[in-house]
Amino acid sequence: MGSRVFLLFAFLLLSSAKPPDPEYVLIVPSVLESDTSNQACVQLQNINESVTLTIALDYNMDHYDLWEGPVAENHFSQCINFTAPPVASEPLAFVVLSVEGSSIHFLERRSVALRKRSTAIFIQTDKPVYKPDQKVMFRVITLDEDFKPVNQTYPLIYITDPRANRIAQWENQASSIGLLQKEFQLDASPNLGIFRITVEGGRSDTSDHWFEVKEYVLPTFSVKTELPQRVSPFEEEFKVNVCAK
């Protein structure tokens, strides 16, 4: 008799137990870097009905939808990659999470800060001095604050001669694996002097590099050696005269 009462009591406890409440977890960095990839992760637990999940970013009176879709699973987890907008005068932004269903309503507005990505643009030519009618080969690389290459689209790249004439120009050039390579053919009779390569990286990021074009002749030299007519295999040393001019 006692065992039957115990089983009946346990059944009543299980049948009257309240189902767990729906829960959510939103993970997002407190500081987002503008114009680069950031990540946000959300996890839903004990969702017993179909809901619509929305993740958005509000910044500077603008609204950016990062992810939106239906969720039917009881347990759901999703990470999204997104690009934060450029930083304006005010760095404060908000990541907004919304979960809407027939009986489930979640809304969280979490404050984050936007930070301008710190980068530096470097320009390198294959040599510092060129002769007329030679080809100028140069490359552009952008490094972040950890000295890692960054893929970037350069709105404008141009070359000016010593008289400030723009003699070559490229627009919206994208780097590959952090590196962009270009070349330019000099005229047979250019303005001699210092030329400048200018790379605009967007916003206020600009870098310059200079090279020289001049008429010059590579230095020549000659080397003359005087050896003895005969060398004995038994000699430990022998004399050799080397003259260079």
Residue 244 lies in a domain: no
Is the model's pLDDT at 198 over the cut of 90?
Answer: yes
Give me the pLDDT at residue 205, please. Answer: 80
Domain that includes residue 53, residue range = 20-115
Q: How many domains does the chain have?
A: 2
Co-location of 134 and 161 in the same domain: yes
**CATH at residue 98:** 2.60.40.1930
Is the residue at 233 inside a domain?
Answer: no
More confident residue, 113 or 17: 113
Q: Is the pLDDT of residue 15 over 60?
A: no
Give yes or no for residue 194 having a pLDDT over 50: yes
Residues 36 and 95 in one domain: yes
User: Are residues 33 and 71 part of one domain?
Assistant: yes
Say whether both 30 and 107 belong to one domain. Answer: yes
Let me know if residue 134 belongs to a domain.
Answer: yes
Is residue 207 assigned to a domain? yes
Does residue 12 fall inside a structural domain? no
β-bridge mates for residue 143, sequence order = 120, 149
Query: Residues 100, 49: one domain?
Result: yes
Q: Do 124 and 209 belong to one domain?
A: yes
Lowest mean pLDDT of 122-131, 174-183, 224-233, name the range: 224-233
Model confidence at 13: pLDDT above 50: no
Residues 48 and 107 in one domain: yes
- Does residue 3 register a pLDDT over 50? no
The phi, psi pair for 67, rounded to 5°, reads -160, 140
Cα–Cα distance measured from residue 158 to residue 206, given in angstroms and rounded to the nearest whole number:
11
Residues 161 and 103 in one domain: no
28, 64: one domain: yes
Ranking 77-81, 164-168, 239-243 by mean pLDDT, the lowest is 239-243
Whether 127 and 144 share a structural domain = yes
First to last CA, the chain: 120
* Domain final residue, candidates 96, 115, 134: 115
Residue 107 bridge partners (DSSP): 98
Angstrom distance (rounded) from CA 86 to CA 177: 22
229 lies in some domain: no
Residue 137 CA to residue 181 CA, distance in Å, equals 8
Tokens of 72: 């039917």
pLDDT at residue 14 in the model? 47
- Please report, as a single letter, which amino acid is at residue 203: R
pLDDT given at position 203: 63
72/155 same-domain check = no
Q: Which of 27-31, 177-181, 209-213 has the highest mean pLDDT?
A: 209-213
Residue 237 lies in a domain: no
76 in a structural domain: yes
Q: Which of 49, 80, 115 is the last residue of a domain?
A: 115
The domain boundary residue, chosen from 115, 147, 167: 115
Do 110 and 140 reside in the same domain of the chain? no
